[in-house]
Structure 1
Amino acid sequence: MAHTKTVTRVSTQVGIVGAGPAGLLLAHLLHLRGIESVVLEARSRDYVENRLRAGVLEQGTADLLTATGLGERMRRQGLVHDGIFLRFAGRSHRIDFRELTGKAILVYGQHEVVRDLVAARLAYGGPLRFDVDGVRVEGLTSHRPTIRFRDASREEVELTCDFIAGCDGFHGVCRPSIPPSAIHFFEREFPFAWLGILAEAPPSSTELVYAHHERGFALLSMRSPTVSRLYLQCAPNEDLGDWSDDRIWSELRTRLATRDGFALKDGPILQRGITPMRGFVAEPMRFGRLFLAGDAAHIVPPTGAKGLNLAVADVQWLAEALGAFFRSGDETLLEQYSARCLQRVWKAERFSSWMTAMLHRVTGQSDYDYRVQLAELDYIASSKSAQATLAENYVGLPFS
């Protein structure tokens, strides 16, 4: 006799696919509004909590985390930066965010944000399932869409929801579940990448340094008073095996050098990897009762430090819209969600693309274009108005 496969059927108000910062923060914001959710994640908890990503929080992001009870460890360990340095032609020029905008940024690793969110989720007992497999989203235009998956014990589960939030990243299952005729993609691949390292070395600067050099871009960042994060522009198909520790440090010293003898502090390299540079936007960010948020809907080149912050803006607005619906049945904000998010997304794409074009060398670049880059940098260094434009975008445009 054939055995019938047992399926466990459960329901919730909002099914959230993806336990990155977008999915976890959305779950937290919904919890504060008394809205139930279930968070599903294909990876393990250890992987999610230790996956290194960007660590620059806009003023609005840091304020939101604090206001929603997630800021205790961030306030203790995060590094407040009141500006950044632009470095070109052997000289550094500081952009004073505090003076220009009254705001600052906070350096606090994305994996640390995720750890805080996981801890908060578990503290109030919100359903959070890691190591799920075979996720499928179905019935997206019905009033009760479904998420089917196998849990960590490989049991088949059918989760029925009022809404589904696709927070499962660029390679997730939610966006591809939208019919091709219902969504448009805007993409740009940049002809270079970043070779990034995490090093056990004290930061060589009190604030981030964005360096333009004839050999290519370099970025000096940090994770803590004892750990540095540094990047080098490289080819997209770069072989990490060709980059020894000595070669990496030598190239960083060359590109970050100044005429007044800047000294780069080095140390053991803990991690290294290649980060591709791309821009991507999916429009609209909604199909039926599926809402996309974060990297599932958009990718920005990392030069402007906008990825995590865009995800935070998305889910803040989505939580507000879902809150209005569950309070009164009003779908106005849900209908406005995509357009509202995309207005901010495209401004972030513009800013990130501008920063990228200004700071990176392109293979075959003409002397003319190189001189234009230097002129652009010199204009920013000498103009308070130009600095104010950069600062306003970097610290973060208002969420509302």
Structure 2
Amino acid sequence: MGTTHGPHRVALWAGAITVGAAAALTATAPALAAPVQVAGGSLDWGFKASFRTYVSTGNGNPPIATKDGATRNSDGTFDFPVTSGTFDAAAGTAEVKYGGTVVFSYPAHLFEITVANPTLVVDGDGTGSLKADVDLEANNGTTDQHLDQAEIATLVTTAPTVDGSSISFSNLAATLTASGASAFAGFYTAGTALDPVTASASASATDPTDPTDPTDPDPTGPGTGSASQTIKAAVTGGALTLTSSGSQVALSAATPGQTATGNLNAVTVSDLRGTNSGWDLVGQVTDFTSAAGGSIPANNLGWTPSASVATSSLQSAAGVRNAVTPGSPAAPGSGLGGSKTLCKAETGSSLGSSTCGAALELGVPESSAAGEYSAVLTLTLA
């Protein structure tokens, strides 16, 4: 558990006896005639994110290049345009060829790997494969390999999403094969998980009928046809942040031997890192002091924490659970002189925003002199 952004601190001050305070969707549609010839679509794949990061630090010129129609997506993966193939939406099968070339070049580490013309094969029984042409040049030319449409990865497939005359497969789990491991110079062993594969295929590249086309026999008549658009959105990691609804807390007045009470200003923890790696929010207070030199030990401040997930009008991401847990109560006398947990979220359930607070109790010793006492409570998020 932890954060890549380091601790976040907020010091909350007060006055008179005060205390500072990241499954594929499936759909059904009328069965299309099988097989359907492919005319449009694309395939998105990145091989493996860690490999792209490694190559990007190298001395290739450039380290990663795209050509022949392949392009780079905003998340670093690659987009390959469709060239040919067929699909059967009713059976959930497809064999679609895509064009384009990606070159991974790292001369200082003696290799250049070229991946081109991937082919998606979906068998309709929950399995599939990704094939490609691969050229490997390594060790100053002493290790060369050329593969035509080799099976680079096996796929775990799901039923396609069907939209009119188009189908799409989203986030298909990919696993490196033995031939793929060899083609990539043994950087990874067979069985290694690769980036997921997302692909689409459609029966037409454009609308079949354009009512404004001068060759249309009746441009004023009713139009027909269908169109589909693939919408992509890059979600980048944000920050782990802590905000407070106030900076001062006034406890109730108390005589020696009694307890002063109040409530901590609510704080909000927002975990927008996209890693779901968990966090802890802890608090510790200084001794209470007065202008006349009086002192109340920090351990005499106790609390009873509370916590809840912040509400939102948006639907949660599929399969993501947001949960927050309040810390254990600390009684006056054994309280916040040492670090105590206000609230926390475990790994796997920390994404989103949570609100935390606490009921405060300051035990005033019978030996305390009259006066206005204050202390600083520091909340640390990590």
Q: Shorter-chain TM-score: which interval?
A: under 0.3
| Structure with higher strand content | 2
| Structure with higher helix content | 1
| Structure label with greater radius of gyration | 2
Q: TM-score, normalised by structure 1?
A: 0.19
Q: TM-score, normalised by structure 2?
A: 0.20
